[in-house]
């Protein structure tokens, strides 16, 4: 049996879902993979640095009532990793699309300390992927990030593990759940503003929905996929980007009725002059299978040199499916 000290950086929706999922899967991890775990550290802006080598109580943390006082105010991130004797760090802090910080710094410190580093945060992928990958290799640890794009669906591990020696030439996808849901509401006659309010009531759109409506969230995901899967560093502002604000609800409704709905389509293709990538609303052709991807579901279709086409669809994601991406990375990290 292998015992691992797990540490969480950020403890919001995804952090709580991860701890719940780890508890649900505790006996399965033990029986199928010889994995025992304890939560030895949690940190966030409001919680401060919490650590206990005897194990923190997951239920108390999920309930927001940790029994442990935070470590002394002068504690550093490195000091916290040491106090928690971290074997695996799950980085789940908020996205900073402009710099990827402080998440990239947390991941670097985790790898330098000697822990496996696993993140749900796209920022470090678009701003520091190669540096973190190379550091992980040098330290003999894993740097994994399956949950960053399409939550729990296997996208990065598909090419890292299941499909070795395949060259990806292009991809096309629907990668932003919020705009897909909003377009679905508009198909039923709601205005853009009413559709945004509905998505906010469901807890899917943020209070400021600009990052989704203007295509920024989708552009960050495109940049992450291009950076890793097409092995070409690409910043989100290099993705040609048009959001959905200019779409008229009557036109969206008519397109849906004609079987050729509008979707916010993400594309990237390797050409003679590098990779061209875009995010833009597109009216689908009749019979396009992407028309069936509704609500918060997402899809991506890859063209490769060997397999002409392979498509992954994720239905109805939630924080638990994101947590599953982190859990799958944990199992992969400690088994290699
Ligand atoms: N929600 C999803 O289903 C989903 C899907 C894929 C990827 N992601 C990514 O997963 C990450 C977490 O998402 P979430 O939904 O759990 O967000 P959330 O509920 O807003 O939680 C964010 C957490 O990060 C902490 N945090 C923010 N800034 C920090 C900092 N500078 N240092 C340390 N902790 C910090 C917050 O702490 P305080 O509350 O104490 O400030 C909070 O605990 C994000 O990067 C997001 O893009 C989420």
Distance (angstroms) between ligand 1 centre and the Cα of 10 equals 6
pLDDT tier, 143 (very low <50, low <70, confident <90, very high otherwise):
very high
- How far is Cα 173 from Cα 205, in angstroms, rounded to an integer? 20
- How far is Cα 19 from Cα 8, in angstroms, rounded to an integer? 9
- How far is Cα 143 from Cα 160, in angstroms, rounded to an integer? 12
For the four alpha carbons of 63, 38, 103 and 278, in that order, the dihedral sign comes to negative
Distances (CA, A) of 224 to 43, 155, 277, 288, 322: 26, 11, 11, 25, 16
pLDDT tier, 35 (very low <50, low <70, confident <90, very high otherwise):
very high
Distance (angstroms) between ligand 1 centre and the Cα of 319 equals 11
User: Atom 37, ligand 1: which residue's CA is nearest?
Assistant: 44
- How far is Cα 57 from Cα 38, in angstroms, rounded to an integer? 9
Distance (angstroms) between ligand 1 centre and the Cα of 94 equals 4
Please give the number of the atom of ligand 1 that sits closest to the Cα of 93: 24
For the four alpha carbons of 146, 9, 239 and 223, in that order, the dihedral sign comes to negative
Mean residue pLDDT of the chain comes to 96
Give percent above pLDDT 70 in the chain.
100
Nearest in space to 55 (alpha carbons), one of 72, 46, 42, 44: 42
- The 10s digit of each residue's pLDDT in 48-78 is 999 999 999 999 999 988 888 999 999 999 9
167 has pLDDT over 90: yes
Nearest in space to 39 (alpha carbons), one of 85, 82, 7, 66: 7
User: Atom 29, ligand 1: which residue's CA is nearest?
Assistant: 93
- Residue matched to tokens 């959001």: 243
The stretch 242-252 carries a mean pLDDT of 97
* Nearest-10 Cα torsion for 301, 304, 308, 310: -30
Distance (angstroms) between ligand 1 centre and the Cα of 248 equals 33
- Residue matched to tokens 């209070």: 207
163 has pLDDT over 90: yes
The stretch 319-330 carries a mean pLDDT of 97
Please give the number of the atom of ligand 1 that sits closest to the Cα of 123: 45
Instruction: Give the global pTM.
Output: 0.96
Instruction: Count Cβ atoms within 10 A of the Cβ of residue 301 and give its class: 0-12 exposed, 13-18 middle, 19 or more buried.
Output: middle
The stretch 184-205 carries a mean pLDDT of 94
Evaluate: CB of 200 within 6 angstroms of ligand 1: no
User: Atom 21, ligand 1: which residue's CA is nearest?
Assistant: 12
pLDDT tier, 202 (very low <50, low <70, confident <90, very high otherwise):
confident
pLDDT tier, 302 (very low <50, low <70, confident <90, very high otherwise):
very high
* Helical (H) or strand (E) element with 168: strand 168-174
- How far is Cα 44 from Cα 47, in angstroms, rounded to an integer? 5
Distance (angstroms) between ligand 1 centre and the Cα of 223 equals 20
241 has pLDDT over 90: yes
Side-chain-side CA neighbours of residue 126 (13 Å)? 30
Please give the number of the atom of ligand 1 that sits closest to the Cα of 102: 31
34-47 in b/e form (b: 16+ CB < 10 A) is ebebbbbbbbbeeb
206 has pLDDT over 90: no
User: Atom 15, ligand 1: which residue's CA is nearest?
Assistant: 13
336 has pLDDT over 90: no
- How far is Cα 320 from Cα 27, in angstroms, rounded to an integer? 18
User: Atom 26, ligand 1: which residue's CA is nearest?
Assistant: 93
């Amino acid at each position: 049996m292998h015992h691992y000290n797990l540490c969480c950086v950020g403890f919001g929706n995804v952090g709580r879902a991860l701890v719940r999922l780890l508890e649900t899967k505790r006996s399965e991890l033990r029986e199928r993979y010889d994995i025992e775990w304890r939560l030895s550290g949690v940190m966030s802006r409001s919680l401060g640095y919490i650590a206990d080598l005897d194990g923190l109580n997951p239920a108390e943390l999920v309930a927001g009532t940790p029994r442990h006082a935070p470590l002394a105010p002068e504690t550093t991130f490195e000091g916290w990793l040491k106090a928690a004797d971290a074997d695996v760090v799950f980085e789940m802090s908020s996205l900073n699309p402009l710099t990827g910080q402080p998440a990239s710094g947390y991941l670097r410190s985790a790898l330098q300390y000697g822990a496996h580093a696993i993140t749900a945060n796209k920022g470090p992928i678009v701003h520091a992927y190669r540096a973190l990958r190379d550091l992980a290799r040098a330290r003999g640890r894993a740097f994994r990030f399956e949950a960053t794009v399409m939550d729990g669906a296997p996208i990065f591990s598909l090419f890292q593990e299941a499909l070795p020696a395949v060259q990806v030439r292009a991809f096309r996808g629907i990668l932003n759940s919020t705009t897909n849901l909003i377009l679905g509401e508009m198909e039923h006659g709601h205005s853009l503003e009413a559709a945004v309010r509905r998505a906010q009531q469901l807890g899917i759109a943020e209070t400021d929905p600009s990052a989704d409506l203007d295509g920024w969230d989708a552009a960050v995901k495109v940049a992450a996929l291009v950076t890793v899967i097409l092995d070409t560093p690409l910043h989100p502002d290099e993705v040609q980007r048009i959001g959905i604000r200019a779409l008229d609800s009557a036109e969206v409704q008519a397109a849906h009725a004609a079987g050729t709905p509008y979707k916010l389509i993400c594309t990237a293709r390797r050409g003679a002059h590098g990779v061209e990538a875009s995010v833009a609303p597109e009216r689908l052709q009749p019979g396009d299978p992407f028309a069936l991807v509704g609500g918060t579901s997402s899809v991506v279709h890859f063209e490769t040199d060997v397999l002409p086409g392979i498509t992954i669809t994720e239905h109805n994601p939630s924080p638990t499916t994101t947590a599953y991406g982190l859990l799958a990375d944990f199992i992969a990290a400690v088994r290699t």
